[in-house]
């Protein structure tokens, strides 16, 4: 069978957690394949709410939850996450690949140190040690799950190189306790599962524009956020690639620094931030807000090979006095719909097209649309979705009108 992939098409926090939970019934296993606890994927369903940091967001749907080795795991944060999840999901099947690299306290401290050293040019990372831990992996000095389990790991290089003191022995013991029940050859399990005709869903963290190669470097994360990385990370051959589902927030948000051409003035951003509860699920930081950015989305579509889109948070745009979309950029006096390199993007001026604003939708209006289907949505909302479909040339399969699982409508 095929492995489908859920990808964030913007700068993260598109609502990937909600989407994964919603489509999970179609799959046997859900696999996280990039990033680490910098991610925060929120699922609200059956009266429960949970923000996943490492664990795939299919827990409420009782799916096999797998962590591929191209991810990073911080055993201390994972332990807290497992204990919290036990309170809301009594049983779950979780396996972590033995090759997965671990984040140590040294790397968390180093993340802060580097941000401090950069001063005004800091990235605004989540301070979860992501950049330093992927660097340690590239330097071949990272402990992996298998190293912690075997106890065969020499930490002296950390002390020499990073000059950061921590009790490595105590850390290993704690990490071993957390990981020993979950360590597994995830790659082998996944391959068998695909060969047996089961369906697999890859769940990306972050978003396309935070990719370290194709994103707005240097204001990016440190592992690839695009669809091809699902296969590299999990060791699954590319021939199993199924469809790529792009998650697209109805407007744009960004946490941390870096260019964002369609950013709104703060007076309007404030309104959207409050109604959309746009505060980081991992760090609590206020998210920057902008209008939908078509050149950026076209670029994300190309890089990932998006087959269909899931639009989230459309309810948040309802009731605004204006509705705009950045359709092109003006760069040095020329108009283009191509997404340029990051240093050029800094100079890009958005060229907006105004659409008819979507009238305010209350809880009853949303329930009415959920009950009666997309056909019953306000015409302005349907026009907005048609506009995205036509300009992006991607089928929009679902629209999300609220954080809860059931607030989802199929677009016919
Ligand atoms: P992720 O990182 O892509 O999984 O997204 P986050 O969970 O960090 O952020 C998305 C936020 O929006 C979460 O608080 C979700 O519960 C919430 N959310 C998801 N879809 C919708 C929606 O359609 N409408 C509203 N109002 N909130 C949504
Ligand atoms: P999810 O999976 C939004 C951003 C940080 C910072 C940059 C680098 O919930 O969508 P890092 O800690 O990775 O070194 O930070 O990337 N960032 C995210 N922004 N959502 C995320 O994850 C993010 N993970 C990292 O804010 O700008
Ligand atoms: Mg998030």
CATH value at residue 242: 3.40.440.10
Catalytic residue numbers, as ranges: 13, 41
Residues 286, 142 share a domain: no
| 195 Cα–ligand 2 center, Å | 34
270 and 348 housed in the same domain: yes
Say if residue 92 is in the same domain as residue 235: yes
Ligand at minimal distance from the CA of 36 is 2
Closest ligand to C-alpha of residue 51 is 1
Residues 189 and 108 in one domain: no
Element (H, E) at 67: strand 64-67
- Are 85 and 108 in the same domain? no
Boundary (domain end) residue, out of 178, 197, 222: 178
Q: What's the pLDDT score for residue 339?
A: 98
Last residue of one domain, picked from the residues 122, 146, 178: 178
Tell whether 134 and 253 lie within a shared domain. no
Where does a domain end: 139, 158, 178? 178
Q: Is the Cα dihedral 227, 228, 234, 240 positive or negative?
A: positive
State the distance from the centre of ligand 3 to the C-alpha of 53, rounded, in angstroms.
Answer: 9
* Structural domain boundaries enclosing 65: 3-99+182-246
- What's the CA-to-centroid distance between 235 and ligand 1, angstroms? 30
Q: Is residue 82 domain-shared with residue 94, that is, in the same domain?
A: yes
- Residue 33 CA to ligand 2 center (angstroms) comes to 15
- Pocket, ligand 2, Cβ cutoff 6 A: 8, 12-13, 38-41, 123-126, 128, 130-131, 205-207, 210, 219, 221-222, 255-256, 281
Q: Whose CA is nearest to atom 8 of ligand 1?
A: 13
Q: Is the CB of 315 under 6 A from ligand 1?
A: yes
Locate the ligand 2 atom nearest the alpha carbon of residue 111 and give its number. 14
CATH number, position 172: 1.10.300.10
Give the mutation target among 10, 13, 38, 103 for probing the ligand 2 site: most ligand atoms within 8 A of CB: 38
Same domain, 271 and 311: yes
| pLDDT of 363 | 96
Q: What is the pLDDT of residue 1?
A: 72
Claim to verify: residue 55 and residue 187 sit in the same structural domain: yes
Q: Which of 70, 40, 45 is nearest to 55 (CA)?
A: 40
Same domain, 82 and 118: no
Q: Name residues with Cβ closer than 5 Å to ligand 3, which is an ion.
A: 13, 40, 281
Looking at the fold, whether 94 and 107 belong to one and the same domain comes out as no
Residues 191 and 86 in one domain: yes
What is the DSSP track for 262-309? TBPPHHHHHHHHHHTT-B-TTT-PBPEEE-EEHHHHHHHHHHHT--EE
In sequence order, the 6+-apart residues with CB closer than 8 A to the CB of 55 are 32, 65, 67, 78, 81, 82, 85, 92, 94
- Round the CA-based radius of gyration of the chain to a whole number and report it: 21
The CATH number of whichever domain residue 394 belongs to comes to 3.90.170.10
Task: Give the pLDDT confidence score for residue 391 in this predicted structure.
Answer: 98
- State the ligand closest to the CA atom of 38: 2
Q: At what angle do helices 105-118 and 130-138 cross, to 10 degrees?
A: 110
276 within ligand 1 shell (Cβ under 6 A): yes
Q: How many domains does the chain have?
A: 3
Nearest CA to ligand 2 atom 15: 125
Question: Mean pLDDT, 10 residues at a time, over the chain (412 residues)?
Answer: 95 98 97 98 96 96 96 98 94 96 96 97 97 97 96 85 88 97 97 97 98 98 98 97 98 97 97 96 90 98 98 98 98 97 97 98 97 98 98 98 98 93
């Amino acid at each position: 069978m095929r492995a489908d992939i859920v990808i964030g098409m913007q700068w993260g926090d598109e609502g990937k957690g909600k989407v994964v939970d919603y489509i999970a019934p179609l799959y046997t296993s859900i696999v996280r394949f990039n990033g680490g606890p910098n991610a925060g994927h929120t699922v609200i369903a059956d009266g429960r709410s949970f923000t996943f940091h490492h664990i795939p967001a299919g827990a409420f749907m009782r799916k096999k939850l797998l962590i591929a080795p191209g991810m990073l795991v911080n055993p201390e944060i994972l332990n807290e996450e497992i204990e919290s999840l036990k309170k809301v999901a009594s049983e779950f099947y979780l396996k972590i690949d033995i090759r997965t690299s671990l984040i140590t306290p040294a790397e968390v401290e180093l993340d802060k140190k580097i941000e401090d050293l950069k001063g005004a040019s800091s990235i605004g990372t989540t301070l979860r040690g992501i950049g330093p831990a992927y660097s340690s992996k590239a330097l071949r000095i990272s402990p992996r799950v298998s190293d912690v389990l075997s106890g065969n790991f020499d930490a002296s290089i950390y002390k020499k190189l990073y000059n950061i003191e921590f009790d490595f022995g105590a850390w290993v013991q704690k990490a071993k306790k957390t990981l020993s029940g979950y360590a597994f050859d995830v790659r082998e399990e996944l391959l068998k599962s695909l060969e047996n005709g089961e369906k697999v869903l890859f769940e990306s963290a972050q978003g396309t524009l935070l990719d370290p190669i194709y994103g707005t470097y240097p204001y990016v994360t440190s592992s690839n956020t695009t669809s091809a990385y699902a296969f590299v990370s999990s060791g699954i051959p590319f021939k199993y690639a199924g469809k790529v589902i792009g998650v697209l927030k109805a407007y744009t948000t960004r946490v941390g620094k870096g260019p964002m051409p369609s950013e709104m003035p703060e007076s309007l951003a404030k309104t959207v931030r409050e109604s959309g509860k746009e505060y980081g699920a991992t760090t609590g930081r206020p998210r920057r807000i902008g209008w939908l950015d078509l050149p950026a989305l076209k670029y994300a579509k190309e890089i990932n090979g998006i087959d269909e889109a899931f639009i989230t948070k459309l309810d948040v745009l309802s009731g605004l006095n204006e509705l705009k979309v950045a359709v092109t950029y003006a760069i040095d006096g020329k108009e283009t719909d191509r997404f340029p390199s990051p240093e050029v993007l800094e100079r890009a001026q958005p060229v907006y097209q105004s659409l008819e604003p979507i009238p305010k939708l209350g809880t009853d209006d949303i329930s009415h649309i959920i009950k009666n289907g997309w056909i019953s949505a306000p015409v302005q909302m349907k026009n907005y979705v048609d506009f995205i479909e036509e300009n992006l040339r991607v089928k929009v399969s679902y629209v999300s009108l609220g954080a809860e699982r059931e607030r989802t409508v199929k677009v016919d």
